[in-house]
Structure 1
Amino acid sequence: MKKVAFVFPGQGAQYVGMGKELACNYKEAMEIFDIACEKLGLDMKKLCFDSNPDILRNTEITQPAIYTVSVAILNVVKKMGVSAYASAGLSLGEYAALVAAGAIDFGETISLVRKRGLYMQQNSGECTASMAAVMGLDRSLVYNYIQEINVAENIVEIANYNCPGQVVISGSSDAVKKACDGLHSLGAKNIVPLSVNAPFHSSLMRPVAEKFAKEMENISIHDCDSIKFLSSVTGNVISDSEAIRTNLIKQIYSPVLWEDVIVEMLDLGINTFVEIGPGKTLTNLIKTINRDVETLSVQDQKTLDAACLYINDL
């Protein structure tokens, strides 16, 4: 029996043309783009379909763009009769996961997501920061090592626990460089600097969370009753609306426990993961965590047809 989870990507998955084919083929998807255009006063269709990579890398644009595309595709997946037992998202992707779980409304929250991106972008100009993906080391070894070089004025922390043998570190540039040098000597197979200029998911982002908390005050959030929602802040199921609100604020400066989320989903009996939105980042991470599960990515007509055929094949 197929037990399905919807998972949604975060920042970095964007590409020019994302969502265009399905928006042109299904009014349920185009309606989401129309809502985004109206609420933001931006031509979200042009930004996603026909802009350029540099524009889409602008965090203030990236975050509402990925959110729009993910929810637009979600609407099409639901139209095709595919439903989920649980949902989760990688950082930004949690907003689409909460739409899937019935906890928030896209039209009410698209402006919130843009402000999230704007505040993060503004914060990037206030400190010299960087991030790097570290491959080939146990997460506890990385954690213990960076504790030794982490001091008040020179912060480096784990930002993402992506899968076994892959974590992302984040912090001030000098501390991240020092950590990378040391982790190389400890046997890291590869360390890849990320093309970002903000210390996402580190304590250096607390000022962003404080500003964002004020924006969250007037947002309606409902309990998750029909679909289980798993928070990347805690790594487990969260259903209470106020806990969800609190975690969306904490998420900005807390590590993303993606590996923990997937392990918990496996314990819930999930055996089919459908990544909804641009790219296949989560599909690849999930396969690294457990190669025996089925992973499907839906981002265009071909992948939609393949996913529906597999899931609806009784």
Structure 2
Amino acid sequence: MQTIRLLSELRASLAALRAQGDDIALVPTMGALHAGHMALVAEAKLAAKRVVVSIFVNPKQFGANEDLSRYPRKELADARMLSDAGVDVLWMPPVEEVYPAGFATNVSVSGVSEGLDGAARPGHFDGVATVVAKLFNQVRPDVALFGEKDFQQLAVIRRMVADLDFGIDIRGVPTQRDDDGLALSSRNAYLVAENRSSAVALPRALGVAAATIEKGGDAVAALSTARDTLIAAGFEVDYVELVDAETLAEPVPGRPGRLLAAARIAGTRLIDNVAVKYG
């Protein structure tokens, strides 16, 4: 595996791979890798001859009071995992290589970025769209893979790629979960044992609400019950909402729905979502 930190070297390396006729899959990450990320890598290896994984903790997607400074960084361990998995290129640029002096461009995707995390974290999806657009232009992949755990992020990226004619195949990979059902996340490392055991209330509450809705139960009541369940478990709830799975707008009976939630426990913000057959 090549570990590359300079854009000039990345482009030279990828040009050599393309000269051999190889297609390229990209898995963008912020590091602190876990089994969820490695599931993306496994899918990437099936999708293309060569796999590039990026590790970049993107400052533009963190708000002023968020956890940029303490976000887990495990470069050596991450590199070992990726090398063992057969990744071809690890793209791990410093901040100044991604945002050089004078950088003044912002990518904003309206519609799907509004509401949910877009409302709870103002500016977050501008930061996501900007860095992903940069990564796409740096790597120029044929296919890129993202986890469905960050479902709104996936919708934002799909909209951006369609609108800006990137010509990249965007694939979502199902959420990977621990044995108790909690969605795998780098932020789970923040949870001490007591909070970790309480955190499973999040996927369980969503599962109960989704089952109720699919059986024809009242959606508003199901969402309210889910919120109450989370509060009782010690969460501060940002949102629990049922939306259309494609547009993230109001759900439409007969179309695929998605139940999404974000909540904090002991200062750690967790997100999760489940598919819902609505109406």
Fold shared by both chains (TM-score > 0.5): no
Higher relative contact order (CA 8 A, sep 6+): 1
Structure with more of its chain in helix, by fraction = 1
Normalised to the residue count of structure 1, the TM-score between the two structures is 0.29
